[in-house]
């Protein structure tokens, strides 16, 4: 119970504050857009840039941590697609629903919960996962969506579409620049690093408050079976596969915690953006983000109890 009170609830209280402030008109809808544009377009990319620029690539970037997490993510993606097809949805809707089981909220929820649960030193493993999260998920999701949309047509434009989807994302740009600095050994000037630190300190609290405002827009509409499928893929299957594989290969306690907790997060807002871009399963994706975030209050606590 202490994990729920001390680790999970403070994060969700901040999200709830943003939800209530937007609901009661104390925080304008346009202000929510501005806050999320700031956090996702500037502050969080700065956080990821600084983390990747200073991480020890030799120690943290290991297949032992990446394989369990991403096999779990692919399992969630495939199960979402197959389940949606079984419920009678078309291929485009099914891929969008599968994307909800693939793309966990690794930054806005994963980082603050992991930091509160295991300390800031453990976040180096979270950053190793996050560094390839958006590129991997967009590469897989966009590729599969374009394949099902093509249905026998030419695929000549597919690489360009995948590349645009990845590098139009400011998080990916921040991560890529971080790798450039890390691999070249460039030194960030102290005055610039001080400015980055100021930006970074604002990133997660502001993003959590803004996430509450975003969730206010998402009404739980659509097929409850599909929403349940999204929650199962995100909150049970993905972390479950990650935990089983990580335990089987002898992944250390600290990286296992990072991988499972990151996998256990609710679908990220990017899942709705993906669905909206393709005009597929928007209601289910939006509802999956909202319901999954609420249910994860309990499911994340359960995983914290299970983990060593």
The per-residue pLDDT for 251 is 93
pLDDT of residue 4: 57
Rounded distance between C-alpha atoms, residue 134 and residue 104, angstroms? 10
Q: Could you tell me which of 102, 94, 95, 45 has the C-alpha nearest to residue 267? A: 102
Q: Let me know: does 154 contact 162? Beta carbons within 8 Å.
A: no
**Residue 232: predicted pLDDT:** 97
Residue 155 has what pLDDT?
A: 67
Structure tokens that stand for 217 in this block = 């827009």
Contact 134, 36 (CB under 8 A): no
pLDDT given at position 193: 92
Class assignment of domain 2-306?
Answer: mainly alpha
- Give φ, ψ of 267 to 5 degrees: -55, 140
Neighbours of 9 (CB within 10 A): 15
10-residue averages of pLDDT along the chain (308 residues): 67 91 94 90 90 79 91 98 96 96 92 90 90 88 87 71 75 88 90 93 89 82 87 97 97 94 92 86 88 92 92
Report pLDDT for 215. Answer: 85
pTM given for the model: 0.86
17-29 core/surface letters (b: 16 or more CB in 10 A; e: else):
bbbebbeeeebee
For the CA atoms of the chain, what is the radius of gyration?
19
How many other C-beta atoms can be found within 10 angstroms of the C-beta atom of residue 3?
18
Question: Cα torsion for 211, 306, 7, 285, to the nearest 10°?
Answer: 10
Distance from C-alpha of 47 to C-alpha of 204, rounded to nearest angstrom? 9
> How many Å apart are CA 27 and CA 19, to the nearest integer?
9
């Amino acid at each position: 119970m202490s994990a729920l009170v001390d680790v999970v609830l403070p994060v969700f209280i901040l999200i709830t504050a943003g939800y209530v402030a937007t609901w009661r008109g104390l925080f304008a809808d346009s202000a929510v857009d501005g806050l999320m544009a700031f956090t996702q377009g500037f502050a969080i990319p700065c956080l990821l840039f600084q983390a990747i620029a200073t991480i020890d690539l030799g120690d943290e970037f290991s297949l032992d941590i990446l394989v369990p997490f991403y096999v779990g993510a692919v399992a969630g993606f495939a199960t979402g697609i197959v389940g949606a097809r079984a419920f009678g949805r078309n291929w485009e809707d099914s891929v969008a629903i599968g994307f909800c089981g693939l793309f966990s909220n690794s930054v806005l929820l994963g980082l603050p919960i992991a930091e509160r649960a295991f300390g800031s030193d453990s976040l180096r493993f979270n950053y190793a996962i996050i560094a390839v999260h958006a590129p991997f998920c967009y590469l897989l999701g966009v590729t599969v969506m374009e394949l099902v949309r093509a249905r026998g047509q030419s695929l000549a434009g597919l690489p360009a579409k995948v590349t645009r989807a990845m590098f139009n994302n400011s998080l990916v740009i921040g991560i890529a620049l971080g790798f450039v600095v890390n691999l070249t050994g460039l030194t960030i000037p102290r005055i610039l690093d001080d400015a980055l630190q100021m930006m970074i300190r604002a990133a997660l609290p502001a993003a959590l408050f803004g996430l509450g405002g975003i969730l206010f827009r998402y009404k739980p509409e659509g097929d409850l079976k599909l929403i349940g499928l999204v929650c199962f893929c995100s909150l049970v299957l993905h972390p479950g596969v990650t935990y089983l594989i990580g335990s089987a290969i002898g992944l250390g306690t600290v990286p296992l915690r990072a991988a499972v907790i990151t996998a256990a997060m609710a679908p990220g807002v990017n899942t709705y953006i993906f669905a909206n871009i393709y005009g597929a399963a928007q209601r289910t994706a939006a509802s999956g983000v909202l319901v999954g975030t609420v249910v994860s209050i309990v499911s994340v606590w359960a995983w914290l109890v299970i983990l060593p």
